Amino acid sequence: MRIKFILIVCLQVLLLLGIIAYREYWIATGDKVVLKTTPVDPRDLFRGDYVNLTYEITNLLLDSGSQKPDFLPGQSIYVNLDMIADGTSFAASVSKERPASGQYIQGRVRNEYRESKWNLTFQDDNGVKREVTHSGMQGLKKGDAITACLDNQGSMLSYNKDNAAYKQPCWQGIQPVHGIVGEITEIRTKKVNVQYGIESYFVEEGKGIQLEQGRNVRGPMKVEVSLRKDGKGIISRLLPDKQ
C-alpha cells in the first residue's frame, strides 16, 4: 500500500513538472505579440493574487448589416493580427477557419451581440469644435456641459456631466477638455465576444492590487502573449506601464 501511495505521488509530481516544462517551452518558442488590456478585479481569496484581463480584441466588430448570426457560442474563431507603431497588435479581421498565413490568435466565442455607440460633437471653451465617438452617452442631450477625457488622437475615453453627483477623474497624462454638447447620432453595430484563455494572470502576493491601482492612474497595461502554431496563446509577461 505504501509503495502504491509513493508511486501515485511521484506520478502527480511528474505530471506537474511536465505541465510546467511544457508551458515554459511554449513561452520560449511561441510567436510573441503585445496586446493592450485592462485589468479588473485583482483579488481571489482562494487562489491568491491574480489579475483579470480584458483586451481590445475581446469584443470584435462584425458586419452590422446582417441579422443572421455569424458565430455561435462555443465556436472557434481566428483573429488575424496586425501591428501598429507602438508595437501592439490589433484585430485586422476574423474568420471561422484557420488562416493559411499571417499572425493570428485562436479563441472561442462567448456570444454575439449588438451594441450602440454615439457620435458626438461638442465645442470646447476655446471655440474648437470636436467630433468624438463613445459607447456610454445615454442620457446626454444637446446643450449639456461636459468635461471629456481625450487621448492624444482626440478619442474620448470618458466624460463627466457638469451636474453629475460623482465625477471620475481623467487618467494621469490625459487632458480634460470642457465643452458644450452639439449633435448626437447613434450608431448600431454587431459584435462578438471572444475568450482566448489568457484572461487571468497570477502575480506575487500583494501585486494584484498594485497593478489595479497603477491601471487606475496610468491607464491600460500591455501584455506579451506567446502564440503556438495553431494560434493558441499563453501570457509570457505583463509589461510595465508606459511601455
Of 78-92, 134-148, 214-228, give the lowest mean pLDDT range.
Answer: 214-228
pLDDT tens-digit series, residues 31-85: 899 998 865 554 444 455 677 888 999 999 887 555 566 889 999 999 999 998 8
Q: What is the pLDDT of residue 206?
A: 62
Nearest-angstrom CA–CA distance, 155 and 167: 19
- Tell me which amino acid residue 220 is: P
Overall pTM surpassing 0.75 (yes/no):
no
pLDDT tens-digit series, residues 144-192: 898 888 877 677 778 888 887 777 788 777 878 898 988 888 888 889 9
Q: What is the pLDDT of residue 131?
A: 86
- Ramachandran category for residue 127: left, alpha or beta (phi over 0 → left; psi -120 to 50 → alpha): left
Q: Which triple of cell numbers denotes residue 110?
A: 462567448
* pLDDT above 50 (res 139): yes
CB 210 within 8 A of CB 95: no
Nearest-angstrom CA–CA distance, 222 and 200: 14
Q: What is the pLDDT of residue 73?
A: 93
Q: Cell 451636474 appears where?
A: 163
Q: Which triple of cell numbers denotes residue 121?
A: 460633437
Q: What is the pLDDT of residue 193?
A: 95
Helices (H) and strands (E) in the chain, counts: 2, 14
Q: What does the pLDDT average to over 129-137?
A: 80
Q: What is the pLDDT of residue 166?
A: 76
Percentage of the residues of the chain whose pLDDT score is greater than 90: 27
Q: Which triple of cell numbers denotes residue 37?
A: 488590456
Q: Cell 511521484 appears where?
A: 10
Closest CA relative to residue 55, chosen from 86, 23, 84, 88? 88
Higher pLDDT, 128 or 137: 128
Q: What is the pLDDT of residue 45?
A: 41
Mean pLDDT score of the chain, rounded to an integer?
Answer: 80
φ, ψ (nearest 5 deg) of residue 69: -60, 135
Nearest-angstrom CA–CA distance, 180 and 137: 14
pLDDT tens-digit series, residues 19-29: 667 577 677 77
Nearest-angstrom CA–CA distance, 134 and 177: 15
CB 87 within 8 A of CB 34: yes
Name the most confidently modeled range: 94-108, 112-126, 198-212.
Answer: 94-108
Q: Given pLDDT bands bounded at 50, 70 and 90, which one contains residue 243? A: very low
Q: What is the pLDDT of residue 32?
A: 92
Q: Which triple of cell numbers denotes residue 113?
A: 451581440
